[in-house]
């Protein structure tokens, strides 16, 4: 979603801001802009479309200033347009701000400011921030921003500059991440460390209700009670090279191919073979409490939600926990009884998803133990959970989540194994899970060698406008995730369904123009899946099956088959999703879609 970058130092700000914006592009956006302070003036460039469009617009304007802020905007209030793009200014054009999040009381504030003769030039909620700063500014931006945020309701990560405050960038956070990057005689602000890694690895993350003032001569951090804070500097790994596509045409394809490594990273050092159990250091501080938990509620969104649905089957196979899975945005509307016996587990790649954060807050209020499985180290969710496990999958840039899904399934398996071994799960059963987990990277590699075959099938199916994906038990969430992958990057309508539900409605859609992708594993659901496929064939539906390598019956029934190796039923989804990711990828490529940045979507969804 929206991205922020800010700079103050000895270098010209504009190239650094543009470069930072490019590194934030993967988050998804529809317009971009920057403001540079120079003399006692602010210069603004904004453009609809890509950062490259902004760059072109700025070619004729060198803007030599050494302090500035920039933004990629994903429209919420007001359509994507130059006027609505950030930075926004006040009436005097002395104040400029960029904002991530939503100001919920902006209409009231706007009305008040209009009554005081402020002139607005955008439809956004964010613009009120610049006008409030104008109202409160006497001599220093810090105090004006402090007074401003006391008036704001909602979520925000804000960076502000003022033409009269020489090379100063002031930032503040509530619910929307913002970090400081520390250089040599220069400072950076960003919503995401990826934007800063070429410049510095020294990062300070602000917590909610903290603000920072950056100037080439130094920085300070305060809370909103105006008290100074000392915060530790973290050294973020130099992972900038991973932002490179490394010869792959898209990040999505690169990340699909990174899955063997990501899966290995998820279990490396976490398996105790001699005891048939896993070891998750991040859960140790809460282990005593966790052993007594009776109910587990998994909350997450999108792909992470489907991983959660899969997680339910995994926990039910290995532990005695009662498991519920909730879409995070619906969580607050449920009247779920929660107490010390309940653990809530949040799954999130970014660790920034606003709906998931809101669900965690709700669960905290009710007294549940809060756990997280998060990929981005130090992210918001990682900070507010009681304990958790990192995926260590490396950054995921493609908007369509791939390697995190399979990594999440492996981490969930390790968690279920850990809890299950305190319950009824035997050493032999635990050992079988460990052996199966260890084989996964090799098995995924084998699927990836089938790329040309999958590409050919994708080419044949690219002409259809609707798809049904079906599976049972562990593969029902695989069907949902397979359909999501296809719809989000190729804009083709696709529905994921539990195969048994087909006869209760969706079968009426089936004809020769409505193909079905059937995920058929050799488990207890096999015969029933074959019956469902026959029902589709009887109605002239084309069927593509994802099936086991040694399944001899499937080829005679289906039009096309993609083969995958076999593993334990609870881990089969890790393998079955891989060809479906490639299938979606190639269909989108044949259709010429913008695969890494699909329309209307953002990588981190930081608004509710
Ligand atoms: O960062 P998170 O895992 O919390 O993100 C959740 C969803 O927004 C995300 O999985 C989204 O559905 C992806 N575009 C799916 O590919």
What is the pLDDT averaged over residues 259-287? 96
Please check the confidence at residue 237 and state whether its pLDDT lies above 80: no
Pocket test for ligand 1, best of 310, 353, 490 (most atoms within 8 A of CB): 353
Euclidean distance between CA atoms 418 and 430, whole angstroms: 9
In the structure, what pLDDT confidence band is assigned to residue 142 with cuts at 50, 70 and 90?
A: very high
Pick the closest to residue 270 from 443, 412, 444 (CA basis): 412
Q: What is the pLDDT of residues 322-379, one digit of tens each?
A: 999 999 999 988 888 887 799 999 999 999 999 999 999 999 988 999 999 999 988 8
58, containing H or E segment: helix 51-58
Q: Which residue's CA lies nearest to atom 12 of ligand 1?
A: 302
Please check the confidence at residue 240 and state whether its pLDDT lies above 60: no
Of all residues in the chain, what percent carry a pLDDT higher than 90?
84
Pocket test for ligand 1, best of 192, 299, 303, 601 (most atoms within 8 A of CB): 303
pLDDT of residue 26: 81
What does the DSSP assignment read for 181-249?
EE-SS-EEEESSGGGTTTT-SEEEE--TTEEEEEETTEEEEEETTS-EE--PPEE----GGGGS-TT-S
Ligand 1 centre to CA of 304 (Å) is 6
Break the chain into its structural domains and give their ranges: 2-242, 247-447, 450-593
CB contact at 8 A, 379 and 353: no
Please check the confidence at residue 56 and state whether its pLDDT lies above 80: yes
Pick the closest to residue 323 from 291, 296, 359 (CA basis): 296
- Tokens for 165? 């405050």
**Atom of ligand 1 at shortest range from CA of 601:** 14
**How many CA atoms does the CB half-sphere of 269 hold within 13 Å?**
8
Between 1-5, 248-252, 463-467, the lowest mean confidence (pLDDT) is in 1-5
Alpha helices in 352-462 (DSSP H): 354-365, 380-384, 403-422, 427-448, 451-461
Say yes or no: domain 247-447 is CATH 3.40.50.10490.
yes
- Tokens for 320? 């005695």
- Tokens for 270? 């976490």
pLDDT of residue 233: 94
pLDDT of residue 562: 98
Euclidean distance between CA atoms 28 and 72, whole angstroms: 8
Do domains 2-242 and 450-593 share one topology? The answer is no
Using a 10 angstrom Cβ sphere, with 0-12 exposed, 13-18 middle and 19 or more buried, the burial of residue 76 is middle
Pocket test for ligand 1, best of 177, 308, 605, 608 (most atoms within 8 A of CB): 605
Please check the confidence at residue 238 and state whether its pLDDT lies above 70: no
Euclidean distance between CA atoms 379 and 194, whole angstroms: 12
**Cβ density class 507-528: b for 16+ within 10 Å, e for less:** beebeeebbbbbbbbbbebbee
CB contact at 8 A, 390 and 374: yes
Cβ < 6 A, ligand 1 pocket: 301-304, 348-350, 353, 356, 399-401, 488, 601, 604-605
Q: What is the pLDDT of residues 185-221, one digit of tens each?
A: 999 999 988 889 889 999 999 999 999 999 999 999 9
pLDDT of residue 490: 97
Please check the confidence at residue 234 and state whether its pLDDT lies above 60: yes
Please check the confidence at residue 602 and state whether its pLDDT lies above 90: no
Q: What is the pLDDT of residues 147-163, one digit of tens each?
A: 999 999 999 999 999 99
Ligand 1 centre to CA of 405 (Å) is 9
Q: What is the pLDDT of residues 28-39, one digit of tens each?
A: 788 999 999 998
CB contact at 8 A, 56 and 149: no
Pairing of strands 295-300, 342-348: parallel
In the structure, what pLDDT confidence band is assigned to residue 244 with cuts at 50, 70 and 90?
A: confident
Annotated catalytic residues are: 2, 603
- Tokens for 344? 């809530």
Superfamily grouping for domain 450-593: Glucose-6-phosphate isomerase like protein; domain 1 (3.40.50.10490)
Phi, psi of 425 (to 5 degrees): -70, 130
What's the mean pLDDT when you consider all of the chain? 94
Ligand 1 centre to CA of 420 (Å) is 28
pLDDT of residue 318: 98
Between 25-29, 70-74, 176-180, 294-298, the lowest mean confidence (pLDDT) is in 25-29
**Atom of ligand 1 at shortest range from CA of 300:** 4
Euclidean distance between CA atoms 32 and 2, whole angstroms: 9
Say yes or no: domain 2-242 is CATH 3.30.540.10.
no
């Amino acid at each position: 979603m929206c991205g922020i970058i800010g700079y103050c130092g000895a270098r010209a700000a504009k190239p650094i801001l543009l470069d930072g914006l490019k590194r934030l592009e993967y988050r998804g956006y529809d317009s971009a802009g920057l403001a540079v302070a120079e003399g006692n003036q602010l210069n603004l460039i904004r453009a609809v479309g890509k950062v490259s469009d902004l760059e072109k617009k700025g070619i004729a304007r060198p803007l030599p200033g050494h302090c500035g802020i920039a933004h990629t905007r994903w429209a919420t209030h007001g359509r994507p347009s130059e006027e609505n793009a950030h930075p926004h200014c006040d009436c005097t054009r002395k104040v400029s701000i960029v904002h991530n999040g939503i100001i919920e009381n902006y209409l009231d504030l706007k009305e008040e400011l209009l009554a005081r003769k402020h002139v607005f030039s955008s439809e956004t909620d964010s613009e009120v921030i610049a006008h409030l700063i104008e109202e409160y500014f006497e001599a220093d931006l810090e105090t004006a921003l402090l007074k401003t945020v006391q008036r704001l309701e909602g979520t925000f990560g804000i960076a502000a500059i003022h033409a009269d405050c020489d090379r100063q960038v002031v930032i503040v956070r509530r619910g929307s991440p913002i970090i400081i990057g520390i250089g040599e005689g220069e400072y950076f602000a960003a919503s995401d460390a990826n934007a800063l890694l070429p410049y510095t690895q020294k990062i300070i993350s602000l917590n909610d209700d903290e603000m920072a003032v950056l100037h080439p001569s130094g920085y300070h951090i305060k809370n909103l009670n105006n008290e100074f804070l000392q915060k530790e500097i973290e050294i973020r790994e130099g992972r900038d090279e991973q932002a490179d596509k490394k010869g792959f045409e898209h990040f999505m394809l690169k990340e699909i191919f990174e899955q063997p490594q990501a899966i290995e990273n998820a279990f490396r050092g976490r398996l105790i073979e001699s005891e048939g159990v896993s070891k998750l250091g991040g859960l140790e501080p809460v282990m005593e409490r966790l052993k007594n938990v009776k109910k587990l509620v998994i909350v997450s969104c999108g792909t992470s939600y489907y991983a959660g649905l899969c997680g339910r089957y995994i926990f039910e196979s290995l532990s005695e926990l009662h498991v519920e899975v909730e879409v995070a945005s619906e969580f607050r509307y449920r009247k779920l009884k929660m107490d010390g016996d309940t653990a809530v587990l949040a799954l999130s790649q970014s660790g920034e998803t606003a709906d998931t954060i809101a669900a965690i807050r709700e669960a905290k209020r009710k007294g549940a133990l809060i756990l997280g499985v998060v990929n981005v180290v130090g992210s918001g969710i990682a900070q507010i959970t009681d304990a958790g496990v990192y995926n260590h999958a490396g950054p995921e840039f493609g908007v369509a989540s791939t390697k995190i899904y399979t990594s999440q399934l492996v981490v969930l398996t390790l968690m279920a194994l850990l809890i299950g071994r305190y319950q009824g799960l035997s050493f032999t059963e635990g050992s079988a899970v460990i052996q199966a987990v260890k084989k996964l990277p090799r098995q995924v590699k084998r699927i990836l060698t089938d790329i040309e075959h999958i590409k050919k099938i994708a080419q044949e199916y690219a002409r259809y406008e609707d798809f049904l994906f079906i599976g049972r038990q562990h593969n029902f969430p695989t069907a949902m995730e397979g359909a999501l992958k296809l719809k989000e990057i190729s804009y083709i309508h696709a529905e994921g369904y539990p195969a048994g539900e087909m006869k209760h409605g969706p079968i009426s859609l089936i004809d020769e123009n409505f193909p079905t992708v059937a995920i058929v594993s050799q488990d207890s659901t096999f015969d029933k899946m074959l019956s469902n496929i026959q029902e589709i064939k009887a109605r002239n539906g084309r069927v593509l099956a994802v099936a086991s390598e040694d399944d001899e019956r499937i080829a005679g029934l289906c039009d096309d088959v993609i083969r995958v190796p076999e593993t334990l039923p609870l881990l089969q989804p890790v393998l079955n999703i891989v060809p479906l990711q490639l299938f979606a990828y190639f269909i989108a490529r044949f259709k010429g879609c913008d695969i890494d940045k699909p329309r209307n979507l953002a990588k981190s969804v930081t608004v509710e």
